[in-house]
Amino acid sequence: MGVKTYANFQSDLIFELGNRTDLDNYKGGWINQAYITLTTMNRFWGLRQDFYFPELFDVSTTSCVDATPYVSAPARCLYIREIWDTTNDVQLKKISWNDYIGRSGRSDTDSEGNPGFWVTSGATDSTGDYKKIWLYPTPSGGQGIQIFYRKIPALLSADTDKTVIGVEWDAPLLQLAVIQSHVKLNEYDRAEYKKKEWIDAVTNLIGIYGKEDLARKDIREPKLDYVKREY
């Protein structure tokens, strides 16, 4: 959990903006906007590296309902990673929306069974929060579904709230809020000045995850040039 609290972020933002007390009504919203931007976007300005937050990967469970061709994705779901049928202990395969639409028997109760495929339509319920995960074949009901997904963190609200991402992201989050605030205040030169410093810092931080991926590679895997030369 991050060391800075929501109150810390707000006071630090005002300090970075020159102790402008006239911005007190905006500081909370600007911090949350930066928080959500940081945790839902993969690309920033000239930075062309993917962001990776293991703290935001989560799993949720639900059950299929007889003759209902979909289940609801978890609240605040950014995207679905994998779907698992826990009743039959099998992984469902992701297909395209066109593939799903083209499959026969989607509304035929005689064609119900254990789902083997899934796709999200992007449709939401009345709250605008729940995506639908369409399943094929249409479930006969009772199958347990495990949803692996990337979540959108909840907004900070109480003064003591902390981010759910690592403490190493506290400084980048604050500086992103500063940059975005300068843009809102039409202080574009100041925003541009801080962008490069922010990108350099974040690039080095992302490099940590690159080392983690490298550490997971199998050291016994032969190199391609070794295989091609048939030594």
Closest CA to 16 of 191, 139, 166, 214: 191
pLDDT in tens, 142-192: 999 999 999 999 999 999 999 999 898 999 999 999 999 999 999 999 999
- Domain edges within the chain: 6-53+165-215, 54-151
- Residues ≥6 apart with Cβ < 8 Å to 198: 172, 175, 176, 179
Prediction pTM value: 0.82
pLDDT in tens, 37-52: 999 887 777 676 667 7
pLDDT value of residue 129: 60
Tokens of 189: 């030169």
pLDDT value of residue 224: 43
pLDDT value of residue 43: 76
CB 133 within 8 A of CB 140: no
Looking at per-residue confidence, does 12 or 207 come out higher? 12
For residue 193, pLDDT beyond 60:
yes
CA pair distance 184, 112, nearest whole angstrom: 53
CB 95 within 8 A of CB 109: no
pLDDT value of residue 205: 77
pLDDT in tens, 29-38: 999 999 999 9
Sheet holding 57-63, edge to edge: 57-63, 144-151, 77-85, 90-94, 117-120, 132-136, 70-72
